[in-house]
Amino acid sequence: VAGPEIGKPVRPFRHALARVREAGLKLEVHAGEWDGPESVIEALDAVKPDRIGQGVRAFEDLELLARLRDQRIHIEMCATSNVCTRAVDRLEHHPIKKARGLGLSLSINTDEPGTFTCSMASEYGLLKDVFGYTAEDIERVKRDSLEARFRRELRVQIPGTLGTPPG
């Protein structure tokens, strides 16, 4: 579920999304980019998603962050996109810096690479160069990303990664 959050709560779709979950599919809700932490709380309460897309405003609420961590709700973060859309005022203020030490499951994404002129390589570069992530921190982000994927098989098999068939 994605789109502008302000004035467009996810709660009215909870029954339809419950059927999606009953069918064995996983759910992601775009929340906490334009609207405050309450949009993330509503998504968690109404839909129980496996992932939150964007989620930058969740970092305004310490109890919410603890809930995301404890429930292992994955957060997809898009630093360049969040600055370009003004969800975050400056790159240096992006909450991905805070996320590092909180034990959250998170991934790094490009959102719309053509629109925001970024790549996965540039987003990972920001982790190291701007946010102080170590090689070990980056490996944890990569592991979290693989563990949170909805489709267990990878399109390209990478030896030594989750989802790689033995042999």
- Of 5, 33, 42, 123, which residue is the catalytic one? 33
Cα–Cα dist 82/112, whole Å: 11
Active site residue 33: yes
Cα–Cα dist 127/124, whole Å: 5
**What is the Cα gyration radius of the chain?**
16
Sign of the dihedral through C-alpha 72, 55, 145, 108: negative
Q: To 10 degrees, the CA torsion angle through 12, 16, 17, 23?
A: 170
Enumerate the active-site residues: 33
